[in-house]
Structure 1
Amino acid sequence: MFARHGKKSIQTILFYRFLSVTAALLIIVSAIVYLIQYTKMYKNMENDIIRTSSSIGDAIDLQISQMDNICLNVINSTSVKDTFAEWSQNKNASAYERRQQQNQLNNSLVSIRGIDTSIRQVNLYSMESGGYGVGNYYGRLSKSTADLPWYKGAVEKDGYRFFQADSHPLLSRHSGTETDRFYFSLYRMYFDNYHNPAGFVEVSKYYDELFEEALSPTTSSSIDITVYDEDGRQIYPDTASGGEKHFDYFTELNSRDLSSDSARIYNDLKQQKEFVTVCPLDYSGFTVTASINNTGFYTPILASLMWIPLLALSLFVVCYFVAGFLSRRLAQPLTEMHQFLSQSDSAGKFRQISLKDSGVIEIDRLRDSLNSSIRAQEAATESLLVMKESEIQAQMLALQAQMNPHFLYNSLNTIGAMAEEGMTEEVTSMCQDITSILRYISSDKESVSTVEEELEHCSLYLNCMKMRFKDKFTYEFDIGDDLLDLKIPKLCIQLLIENSVKFVSKTAPPWHIRIEGYIDAGQWLISVKDNGPGFDPEVDRHLRSQMDEILKYSRLPSLELDGMGILNIFIRFYLLFGSSFLFQFGNLPEGGAFVIVGGRFHEKDQTL
C-alpha cells in the first residue's frame, strides 16, 4: 500500500453536477429560442419564395400584355388588314402597286410595333397562302399557313390568344446570331366583317428575354421555376426542343384541394420531396410554380439558426472552464495527458509526457505507466526497423550473389564458343573485359550504382558479343546526359542486355539491340529493345502473375539461376523502392521484345 501523505483522490462531483445543471438549462432555453426562430425563418422562407414567383409572374404578365396589345392593335387596324388582304389576294397587281402595298404594310406594322425593341417580330398571315412580317425579318412569308406548327392550336382558340415556343429558323437566320434563337410567340386569329376567319397575327419575343426573371430569379434560394399556360401546357422551361422531362406540377396541384398558395409534394422524377408555390397570372392566365427541394428549403433556415447552438456551446464552454477552475488540480493533468495522446504528429510520436507531480496518486501512476509504455514501444520499433533493414540488405546481396555466377556461366560459354572458332585475340580481349565486369559485379559494398557506371560495363559486355558475332550483331546507346548520375539498382541494365543477347541469338541474324534513356513527364525511363523472337505468351503470363503476387502479398518467390533475369530485376527495384517504380515489358509491333524500367526523377539528388 502507498501512503497518502499530502495526496488526494479525484473529486469530480462538483464539476459534473455544475456542468449537468448548466447543460440542462442551456438546452431548455436554446430549444425554446430555436423553435421560435425556426418558425419565423420557416415563414419568411415561404414568403420569399411566394414573392419571388409572384414577381416573376408579374414580369411575364406585363410582357404578355405588351405583346397582346400590339396583336390587338394590328387586328383593330382596318387599314392594315385591308392592305394585307389586297397584297395577298390581288395577284394581278403591278410591281409598283405591290411595292406600294408592302411599304404601307411596313410603315403600319412598324408604327404599331413602336419603340419597344423587345418585340422582335410582327407577322400577318392569311388563312392559306403565307403572310408578311416586319422585325428581324422583313418581307413575304411564303410557307403555307396551314403547315405551320401553331396553326391548329390558333384555329381552335377561335380568336383567343394562343402561345407557341419555337426556334423560328427563318427569323433566326436574320437575327444576327450564328445559331437559331428561340422565340416565344403570341397568335390571334382575326375575322372579316361577317365573322369569317380572315387570317392570323403573330407577335414574337426572344424566349430568354420573356422568361429572363425565371432564368435568374432574384432570390438567394435555389428554386426551379415552371410556367404553364391556361391549358396546362408547360411553356417554361422549354420542352419543344426535346429537353429534360419535368414534373407536372400543374396536374398535381389541380388534383388537390389547396387551401393556400403553397403545398408539399413528392416529385417522383427526382425522387425527393419539394415545397411548391402556385401563382396564377391574371392577364395571361398562366400559372407560375416555384419549387425547391427539402434540402434547399431547410439548409438556409438551419444555417441562419446556427448562432443559437453556437451561442449555447460558447456558454457551455465558459461554464466548463469555470468548473475546470474549481477542480483544476484534478482535471488539468488528465486533460494534458489526453491532448498529448491525441496528437498525430509522427515526428514526435515517441516523445514522453513531461508532467510534474500532481499530488494525486492515480494521475502520477498513469503518467509513469504511459511513459514506460512509450519507451518500450520506441525500443521495439527501433529494433524492428534495424531487423527490416538487415533483412532487405541480405536479400539484395543474395540476389546479387546469384547474378555473379549467372554472368560468369554465360561469359565462359561465350569464351568457349569463341575459342572453338579460333578467335584467340578476341578471347584475350574478352577475358580482360570480363575481368573488369566481374570486378564490378562482385563488389558487395553497394547495391546501387550510377547509370554511367552501369553503361560502361554494359558496353564492355556488348563489345565482347560484337567480337564474337562480328557483323551479325549490332547495338547502340541513346542515353541523355541528365541521366548519367542517376542511382539505379546495380546490374539491372546488364541483366536486361544479357537476356536480350541470349534470346536474339536464337533467331536468324542480323541481331540488333538498342538501349535508350530519357526523361518524360517527371519520370526517368531506360529501355532495352531487340529484334528477337519476343516473349512467349506463357512466359509473359507467368512473369506478370509472379510480379502481381509480389506487389499484392510482399512475398518473394524462390529464384532459379537459369530463369531469374527479368524477375530478379523487378525484385531488386521492389526491395529498394517499394512500389514507387515503373516496370514494363512486352513485344514490339514490328517484332522483338522490350523492357522499360523507370521511376520519379528528382533533379535535386537525381535518385528515384
Structure 2
Amino acid sequence: MENENNKGTPPAWRQVMWTKHRNIRSILFSTYSFIIVIVFTVLVAWFYLWASDLLRKNATDTLESMGQSMQDNIDSEFHKLNDVSLNVMYSNLVKNHFQSYLSLTTNSGAKQRENVSATSAEKSVQNAKELTDILTAAIGPSRPVEQLYLYDFKSKVYGNGFDNGERSYVPQDKPWFNTVINNAAGKYIALPVPDEEMSRFISSQEKQFSISLFRLFYDNYNTPMGIIEVKQYFNRIFKSAIDFTERNPYQAKVLVYNNANEIIYPTNADKERYLPYMQYKGADGTAKDQIFYNQDTGEKALLSLHYSDFTGLSTVIIVSESKLLSPLFTFAKRTVLVALVILLLAILLSFLAAKRITMPIQKIHRSMRTMRLEDLGSERVAVPQLNSGLNELDQLYWSFMKMSTRLKQSMDELLMSQHQELQAKLIALQTQMNPHFLYNTLTTIQVMAQENMNAEIVAMTENMSDFLRYFSADGSLVALKEEVLHTRKYLEINQIRFGRKLHFEFDIDEQLTELRIPKLIIQPLVENALKFATKHQPPWTIHVRGTISGNHWQVEVADTGEGFSEESLHVLHGKIKEIDKTNVLPLLQLNGMGLLNIYIRMKLMYGNDTIFRIVNDGQGATVMIGGTLSQGGINEHHGHGGTAVS
C-alpha cells in the first residue's frame, strides 16, 4: 500500500509513465494530422507537376509556332532578295545593256585620251539611263529591296536604288568577292555590316546595318560577266525576331546563325556565350526542341530551333525555364497559402475528433486515481457507471473494475516474493560484464599475434586469465585489495592495448586493504572512466584513490575526459531520487554495468548510508562511492537517514 504521507501525490511510476509515453489523444491527433498532411501534400504535388507539364507543353507549342513563323518571315524577306537577283540575272535586257555599258565605259575612257568627239560619251549616258530604267523595272514597283548593285570583275560598279549611278571599287577590298567567285552554284548571303550610306535615309540616329545577297551574273553564253548584289535593311529582314525579343513576356532571346556557326542576329552577340546553343542542330539540319542546361549561368533553358534549307540559317528561341514557369510559381504560392488554411482547418477537426474519443478515457483515469488499494475487491464500494456513449470504452471500464478484485489477490502474493527478488537482483547485478571488453581484448591479441608481440600476448593473456577467474569466482564480497588488484590487471590489459597513451595510478589507504566490499564495484567505474576518456586526444589518465573519513570509507575514480553532460547527470540523479523516495528498485539492467547499477548494488549493501557522488571538475569527472566501516563491510542496520548523493 502507498504511504499515507504520499496521499494526493501520484506514485513515481505514474510520473514516469506520463513523461515517457504519449497519450491517446496526441496519438490520434498526430495520426489524423499525418494522414491529412500526406494526402494533401500528394494532391498538391501531383497538381503542381501536372500544371507544370501542361504549361511547359503549351509554352513549347507556342515557341514552336513562334519559331516557325519567325523563320518563315525571315525566309520571305530573303526570297524577295533572291527573286530580285533572279529577275536581274535572267533579264536579257539587263545583260545587253550592262555589256554595252561596260564596253562604252571602257571605250569612253580610251577616246578621252585620244580627244575624240563626245558622241560615244553621249551614248554611254543614254545606255546608263536605259540600264537604270531596266533595273528599276526588275526590282518592281513595290521595291521589295532597298538597293541593287552590278559589279564587273575589274573595278566598276553600277547601282540602282537610293544610290544610283556608277562608281569604282577595289575587288580585293571586298570580303565577299572571292567567296562569291568560288560559289558558282548559287546565292551567297553575307554577314550583316554597318551601312553608313543606308543610314542616311533613316530618321533614326542609330547606325543601321544592312545584309546582302550575292549572285554571279552570266552573259548569254553562260559566262560570268559580273556580280549581282541585292541589299536590304537588317532591321527589316529580322523585324519579326526584333519584335518578338522586345515584346515577349518571358524575356526570351532569339539567335540566328549560318552553317559556319557565324551569328547573323543579333549583331552584337558574344559568340563564346552563344556557342553552346548552336550545337543543337542535328546532322541532317532538322529542327528540334531541347532542354538545355547553361553551365555558365547555372539555369535551365528551353530551346526551339528551326532550320531553313533555302537560306542555310538556323533560328533558335531561348527561354529561361524560371521565367517560363514564373506564372506557375506565383500560382503555387497562392495555392500553398490556401492549402495551409484548409490544412489548419482539417487539423482542427482532427483535434476535435480525437478529443471526442479521449474524453471518456479521461473520466476512467479520474476514477482510477480516486481508488485506494484497500478498496480493491471491496463489495461496499459502489462501482460508478461511465455512460460515455462509446460501447467499447464502457466495456473497458467495467472490465477494469472487475479486474480490481483479482488484483487484490495478486498483491498479497507479490509482497511475499519481494525479499527473494532483491536477493536475486543482487546476484544478477554482480554477474554482469561488458562483452565489448572481451571483444576488444581478443582483437588486440589477434593484432599482436600478427605482429609477433609474444611477450605482450603472454602478459595480456595472464592478466585476462586472472581477471576472468576473479570474475567467475563465487562470493559477492571480496577484500578491497583484491578488487584493486584485479582492477589494476584490467588497466594493464588496456595499457598493453593503448600503449603510452594510457596512464593510471592507485592511491589506497592501507587501512582499507582488508575491507570487505561488493565484488566488481570499482572495476566498472574504471571501465566507465576509460570509455569516456578515450573519446579525446591522448594521453589519458585515470586516478583511483581510497580514503577513510570518520566511520566511512570512500573510493574515488577520476579521469581526464570531458566530464558528464548536464542532461545525463539530470537523468541519473532523477532516477536515484526516485529510488530513494519509493524504496522500489528498478528492473534489472542486463545491457551493462552502468552507474545506476552500481548505485543499486551499494544501496542493497549499505542502505541509506551509501555514498555516491559525481563531480565535474573542469578537467574530467570524478565518481565517488563508499559506505560504513562496519564489520565485514556490510551495514547490518539500514538506517533511515538520507543517502549521500550529489
- Superposition TM-score, scaled by structure 1 size: 0.47
TM-score if structure 2 supplies the norm length?
0.44
